[in-house]
Amino acid sequence: MSNHAVFVMSAYLVALVILGGLLISSLAARNRVRRELAARGLERSREQRAKAS
C-alpha cells in the first residue's frame, strides 16, 4: 500500500474497535442479564442448560 496506508489502516482499526466493542458489550450485557434472571429462578443458567442438553 502507498504512503496513505496509515489512513487506510487507521480507518479499519476505528471500525474494528467501534463495531467489535458493540459486539462484545452486547454479549456481555446478555450474559449479565441472563445470570441475574437465573439467580432469581426465572431462567436456567448456562451450566443448567448444558447439563440438560
- By the rule CB under 8 A, 36 interacts with other proteins: yes
Q: Is residue 24 within the footprint of other proteins (CB under 8 A)?
A: no
| C-alpha to C-alpha distances, 49 to 14, 28, 34, 40, 41, nearest whole angstrom | 37, 18, 12, 16, 13
Do residues 47 and 39 touch, judged by C-beta distance below 8 A?
no
Q: Residue 30 interacts with other proteins (CB under 8 A)?
A: yes
Please give the residue ranges that form the binding site for other proteins (CB under 8 A). Answer: 1-2, 4-5, 7-8, 10-12, 14-15, 18-19, 21-23, 26-27, 29-30, 33-34, 36-37, 40, 42-43
